[in-house]
Structure 1
Protein backbone atom coordinates (compact mmCIF):
# COMPACT_ATOMS: atom_id res chain seq x y z
CA UNK A 1 0.00 0.00 0.00
CA UNK A 2 1.32 3.42 -0.90
CA UNK A 3 4.75 4.53 -1.96
CA UNK A 4 7.31 6.42 0.01
CA UNK A 5 10.27 8.21 -1.50
CA UNK A 6 12.71 6.76 0.98
CA UNK A 7 11.00 3.46 1.62
CA UNK A 8 12.84 1.15 3.96
CA UNK A 9 11.92 -1.66 6.29
CA UNK A 10 13.52 -2.30 9.63
CA UNK A 11 13.08 -4.71 12.50
CA UNK A 12 10.92 -2.43 14.67
CA UNK A 13 7.88 -4.14 16.08
CA UNK A 14 4.40 -2.73 15.56
CA UNK A 15 4.29 -1.15 19.04
CA UNK A 16 6.92 1.36 17.95
CA UNK A 17 4.56 2.67 15.31
CA UNK A 18 2.09 3.66 17.99
CA UNK A 19 4.81 5.42 19.97
CA UNK A 20 6.03 7.32 16.91
CA UNK A 21 2.76 8.27 15.24
CA UNK A 22 0.51 8.94 18.24
CA UNK A 23 1.08 11.28 21.12
CA UNK A 24 0.13 14.78 22.11
CA UNK A 25 -3.41 15.15 20.80
CA UNK A 26 -2.96 12.65 17.95
CA UNK A 27 -5.14 9.55 18.13
CA UNK A 28 -3.97 6.38 16.39
CA UNK A 29 -6.91 4.86 14.51
CA UNK A 30 -6.63 1.10 14.09
CA UNK A 31 -10.18 0.14 13.06
CA UNK A 32 -12.93 1.47 10.82
CA UNK A 33 -15.21 1.64 13.88
CA UNK A 34 -12.69 3.82 15.72
CA UNK A 35 -12.51 6.09 12.66
CA UNK A 36 -16.30 6.40 12.57
CA UNK A 37 -16.41 7.18 16.30
CA UNK A 38 -13.76 9.90 16.01
CA UNK A 39 -15.51 11.48 13.00
CA UNK A 40 -18.81 11.44 14.88
CA UNK A 41 -17.10 13.09 17.84
CA UNK A 42 -15.52 15.71 15.57
CA UNK A 43 -18.90 16.50 14.01
CA UNK A 44 -20.55 16.88 17.43
CA UNK A 45 -17.75 19.18 18.58
CA UNK A 46 -17.59 21.09 15.26
CA UNK A 47 -13.93 20.14 14.81
CA UNK A 48 -12.04 19.82 11.57
CA UNK A 49 -10.16 16.52 11.28
CA UNK A 50 -6.62 16.19 9.99
CA UNK A 51 -5.84 12.56 9.25
CA UNK A 52 -2.26 11.44 8.64
CA UNK A 53 -2.19 8.27 6.53
CA UNK A 54 1.27 6.84 7.14
CA UNK A 55 3.30 3.64 7.36
CA UNK A 56 5.80 2.47 9.97
CA UNK A 57 8.39 1.68 7.27
CA UNK A 58 8.15 5.14 5.64
CA UNK A 59 11.10 7.44 6.40
CA UNK A 60 9.28 10.71 5.58
CA UNK A 61 6.34 9.52 7.74
CA UNK A 62 8.67 9.02 10.68
CA UNK A 63 10.33 12.37 10.03
CA UNK A 64 7.09 14.38 10.09
CA UNK A 65 5.32 12.46 12.88
CA UNK A 66 6.85 14.49 15.76
CA UNK A 67 5.91 17.71 13.93
CA UNK A 68 2.34 16.43 13.44
CA UNK A 69 2.18 15.73 17.20
CA UNK A 70 3.53 19.23 17.92
CA UNK A 71 0.87 20.75 15.64
CA UNK A 72 -1.80 18.79 17.53
CA UNK A 73 -0.69 20.40 20.77
CA UNK A 74 -0.74 23.89 19.23
CA UNK A 75 -4.13 23.55 17.49
CA UNK A 76 -6.48 22.01 20.03
CA UNK A 77 -9.58 23.16 18.12
CA UNK A 78 -8.73 20.55 15.46
CA UNK A 79 -8.81 16.75 15.72
CA UNK A 80 -5.61 14.95 14.68
CA UNK A 81 -5.77 11.29 13.65
CA UNK A 82 -3.11 8.88 12.44
CA UNK A 83 -3.96 5.87 10.26
CA UNK A 84 -1.47 3.11 9.42
CA UNK A 85 -2.09 2.21 5.78
CA UNK A 86 -0.76 -1.30 6.37
CA UNK A 87 -3.19 -1.93 9.25
CA UNK A 88 -6.19 -0.62 7.29
CA UNK A 89 -5.34 -1.24 3.60
CA UNK A 90 -8.91 -1.40 2.25
CA UNK A 91 -9.89 1.70 4.22
CA UNK A 92 -6.82 3.56 2.92
CA UNK A 93 -7.74 2.57 -0.63
CA UNK A 94 -11.24 4.00 -0.09
CA UNK A 95 -9.58 7.33 0.68
CA UNK A 96 -7.43 7.02 -2.47
CA UNK A 97 -4.13 6.93 -0.57
CA UNK A 98 -1.39 6.28 -3.13
CA UNK A 99 1.64 7.59 -1.22
CA UNK A 100 2.66 8.12 2.38
CA UNK A 101 2.38 10.34 4.21
CA UNK A 102 -0.91 11.74 2.96
CA UNK A 103 -2.78 14.25 5.08
CA UNK A 104 -6.53 14.55 4.56
CA UNK A 105 -8.49 17.49 5.95
CA UNK A 106 -12.15 16.79 6.74
CA UNK A 107 -15.02 19.08 7.68
CA UNK A 108 -18.29 17.36 8.64
CA UNK A 109 -16.87 14.09 7.31
CA UNK A 110 -16.16 15.51 3.85
CA UNK A 111 -12.68 16.05 2.44
CA UNK A 112 -11.87 19.75 2.07
CA UNK A 113 -8.14 19.48 1.33
CA UNK A 114 -5.27 17.02 0.94
CA UNK A 115 -1.49 17.13 1.15
CA UNK A 116 0.77 14.36 -0.12
CA UNK A 117 4.30 14.24 1.25
CA UNK A 118 6.19 15.27 4.37
CA UNK A 119 6.23 18.99 3.61
CA UNK A 120 6.28 20.79 6.98
CA UNK A 121 5.82 24.36 5.67
CA UNK A 122 2.91 23.32 3.44
CA UNK A 123 1.26 21.33 6.24
CA UNK A 124 1.50 24.32 8.58
CA UNK A 125 0.16 26.61 5.82
CA UNK A 126 -2.86 24.37 5.24
CA UNK A 127 -3.59 24.02 8.96
CA UNK A 128 -3.26 27.79 9.49
CA UNK A 129 -5.60 28.42 6.57
CA UNK A 130 -8.18 26.03 7.99
CA UNK A 131 -7.91 27.48 11.50
CA UNK A 132 -8.31 31.03 10.16
CA UNK A 133 -11.35 30.08 8.05
CA UNK A 134 -13.06 28.09 10.81
CA UNK A 135 -16.21 29.71 12.17
CA UNK A 136 -16.31 30.15 15.94
CA UNK A 137 -17.90 27.28 17.84
CA UNK A 138 -21.53 27.73 18.87
CA UNK A 139 -21.97 29.33 22.28
CA UNK A 140 -22.33 26.98 25.21
CA UNK A 141 -25.69 26.76 26.86
CA UNK A 142 -25.89 28.31 30.28
CA UNK A 143 -28.53 28.62 32.94
CA UNK A 144 -29.74 32.19 33.16
Structure 2
Protein backbone atom coordinates (compact mmCIF):
# COMPACT_ATOMS: atom_id res chain seq x y z
CA UNK A 1 0.00 0.00 0.00
CA UNK A 2 2.97 2.33 0.22
CA UNK A 3 3.28 2.94 3.93
CA UNK A 4 4.68 1.23 7.01
CA UNK A 5 2.90 0.97 10.31
CA UNK A 6 4.67 2.93 13.03
CA UNK A 7 4.36 0.13 15.52
CA UNK A 8 6.41 -2.29 13.47
CA UNK A 9 9.47 -3.41 15.41
CA UNK A 10 12.91 -3.26 13.92
CA UNK A 11 16.40 -3.62 15.32
CA UNK A 12 18.95 -1.68 13.33
CA UNK A 13 22.35 -1.21 14.91
CA UNK A 14 23.76 0.86 12.08
CA UNK A 15 21.67 3.62 10.59
CA UNK A 16 24.63 5.95 10.04
CA UNK A 17 23.90 6.14 6.31
CA UNK A 18 20.25 7.07 6.97
CA UNK A 19 20.77 10.81 6.85
CA UNK A 20 22.79 10.68 3.64
CA UNK A 21 20.19 8.62 1.80
CA UNK A 22 17.15 10.32 3.29
CA UNK A 23 18.24 13.95 3.36
CA UNK A 24 20.00 15.09 0.24
CA UNK A 25 19.06 18.08 -1.88
CA UNK A 26 17.49 20.83 0.24
CA UNK A 27 16.00 18.46 2.82
CA UNK A 28 16.84 19.47 6.38
CA UNK A 29 17.02 16.87 9.12
CA UNK A 30 15.19 17.56 12.36
CA UNK A 31 16.91 15.86 15.30
CA UNK A 32 15.41 17.81 18.22
CA UNK A 33 12.17 19.57 19.12
CA UNK A 34 14.25 22.77 19.36
CA UNK A 35 15.50 22.45 15.78
CA UNK A 36 11.87 21.88 14.68
CA UNK A 37 10.78 25.07 16.44
CA UNK A 38 13.69 27.02 14.90
CA UNK A 39 12.89 25.82 11.37
CA UNK A 40 9.19 26.64 11.74
CA UNK A 41 10.03 30.11 13.03
CA UNK A 42 12.43 30.63 10.12
CA UNK A 43 9.72 29.49 7.68
CA UNK A 44 7.23 31.93 9.26
CA UNK A 45 9.71 34.82 8.92
CA UNK A 46 10.41 33.90 5.28
CA UNK A 47 6.71 33.20 4.47
CA UNK A 48 7.59 29.66 3.41
CA UNK A 49 5.41 26.58 3.30
CA UNK A 50 6.92 23.66 5.22
CA UNK A 51 6.63 20.02 4.22
CA UNK A 52 7.57 17.67 7.02
CA UNK A 53 8.28 14.06 6.14
CA UNK A 54 7.83 11.78 9.17
CA UNK A 55 9.79 8.72 8.18
CA UNK A 56 11.76 5.71 9.47
CA UNK A 57 15.00 4.06 8.36
CA UNK A 58 13.47 0.56 8.39
CA UNK A 59 10.48 1.59 6.25
CA UNK A 60 10.77 0.38 2.65
CA UNK A 61 8.32 2.94 1.20
CA UNK A 62 10.18 5.69 3.10
CA UNK A 63 13.44 4.63 1.48
CA UNK A 64 11.73 4.41 -1.89
CA UNK A 65 10.34 7.96 -1.79
CA UNK A 66 13.36 9.62 -0.10
CA UNK A 67 15.28 10.35 -3.36
CA UNK A 68 12.10 11.76 -4.92
CA UNK A 69 11.48 13.95 -1.85
CA UNK A 70 15.04 15.27 -2.25
CA UNK A 71 14.41 15.97 -5.96
CA UNK A 72 11.24 17.88 -5.05
CA UNK A 73 13.21 19.93 -2.51
CA UNK A 74 15.40 21.16 -5.36
CA UNK A 75 12.49 21.65 -7.76
CA UNK A 76 10.56 23.78 -5.22
CA UNK A 77 13.18 25.98 -3.49
CA UNK A 78 10.50 28.29 -2.04
CA UNK A 79 9.31 25.43 0.20
CA UNK A 80 11.16 24.24 3.31
CA UNK A 81 11.52 20.45 3.25
CA UNK A 82 12.05 18.79 6.64
CA UNK A 83 12.70 15.19 7.63
CA UNK A 84 11.77 13.75 11.01
CA UNK A 85 12.84 10.22 11.97
CA UNK A 86 9.96 8.81 14.01
CA UNK A 87 12.35 6.51 15.91
CA UNK A 88 14.73 9.33 16.87
CA UNK A 89 11.93 11.70 17.93
CA UNK A 90 9.37 9.22 19.22
CA UNK A 91 7.51 11.49 21.63
CA UNK A 92 7.47 14.39 19.18
CA UNK A 93 6.20 12.14 16.37
CA UNK A 94 3.50 10.77 18.67
CA UNK A 95 2.33 14.32 19.31
CA UNK A 96 1.60 14.52 15.55
CA UNK A 97 -0.42 11.28 15.75
CA UNK A 98 1.71 9.45 13.19
CA UNK A 99 0.05 6.10 12.48
CA UNK A 100 2.10 5.08 9.42
CA UNK A 101 5.26 6.14 7.62
CA UNK A 102 5.90 8.05 5.58
CA UNK A 103 3.49 10.80 6.58
CA UNK A 104 3.89 14.23 5.01
CA UNK A 105 2.49 17.32 6.70
CA UNK A 106 2.06 20.57 4.78
CA UNK A 107 2.35 23.53 7.15
CA UNK A 108 1.74 27.23 6.74
CA UNK A 109 2.57 29.52 9.64
CA UNK A 110 3.17 26.40 11.73
CA UNK A 111 -0.34 25.07 11.15
CA UNK A 112 -1.32 21.98 9.19
CA UNK A 113 -2.98 22.81 5.87
CA UNK A 114 -2.73 19.36 4.28
CA UNK A 115 -1.45 15.85 4.90
CA UNK A 116 -0.46 12.80 2.88
CA UNK A 117 0.04 9.31 4.31
CA UNK A 118 2.05 6.86 2.22
CA UNK A 119 4.71 6.95 -0.48
CA UNK A 120 2.49 8.18 -3.30
CA UNK A 121 4.77 10.16 -5.64
CA UNK A 122 2.08 11.60 -7.96
CA UNK A 123 -0.11 12.64 -5.03
CA UNK A 124 2.83 14.22 -3.20
CA UNK A 125 3.78 16.36 -6.17
CA UNK A 126 0.11 17.18 -6.86
CA UNK A 127 -0.29 18.49 -3.30
CA UNK A 128 2.96 20.48 -3.58
CA UNK A 129 1.87 22.01 -6.88
CA UNK A 130 -1.54 22.88 -5.43
CA UNK A 131 -0.06 24.52 -2.36
CA UNK A 132 2.51 26.52 -4.33
CA UNK A 133 -0.25 27.89 -6.56
CA UNK A 134 -1.88 29.63 -3.59
CA UNK A 135 1.33 30.85 -1.99
CA UNK A 136 2.84 34.10 -3.31
CA UNK A 137 6.19 33.53 -5.05
CA UNK A 138 7.85 36.57 -3.52
CA UNK A 139 10.67 34.66 -1.84
Q: TM-score normalized by structure 1?
A: 0.88
In 1, Cα distance between the equivalents of 2:96 and 2:10?
A: 24
Computing the radius of gyration over CA atoms, which structure comes out larger, 1 or 2? 1
Q: Give 1:135 deviation, angstroms.
A: 2.1
Q: Is the 8 A contact 1:28 1:82 kept in 2?
A: yes
> What residue in structure 1 maps to residue 29 of structure 2?
28
What's the offset of the Cα at 1:16? 1.2
Q: C-alpha separation between the residues in 2 aligned to 1:120 and 1:75?
A: 15
- What is the number of residues matched between the two proteins? 136
CA contact (8 A) 2:4 2:61 kept: no
Q: Which is bigger in relative contact order (C-alpha 8 A, separation at least 6)? A: 2
Measure, in 2, the Cα distance between the counterparts of 1:71 and 1:114: 16
3-state SS in 1 of match to 2:114 = strand
Partner of 2:95: 94
> How far does residue 23 in structure 1 lie from its aligned partner after superposition?
1.0
What is residue 129 of structure 1 aligned with on the other side? 130
Q: Which residue pairs with 1:142 in the alignment? A: none
SS in 1 for 2:16: helix
Name the CA distance, whole Å, in 2 between partners of 1:52 and 1:111.
Answer: 13
By how many angstroms is 1:8 displaced? 8.3
**Is contact 2:51-2:105 (8 Å) kept?**
yes
Structure 1 runs (4+) greater than 3 angstroms displaced: 2-5, 7-12
Q: Distance in 1 between matches of 2:26 and 2:76?
A: 9
Instruction: Determine the C-alpha separation between the residues in 2 that align with 1:20 and 1:8.
Output: 21
Q: Which runs of 5+ in 2 are unaligned?
A: none
Answer yes or no: is the 8 Å Cα contact 1:4–1:60 preserved in 2: no
Q: Provide the residue aligned with 2:85 in structure 1.
A: 84
1:67 Cα offset (Å)? 0.1
SS in 2 for 1:118: coil
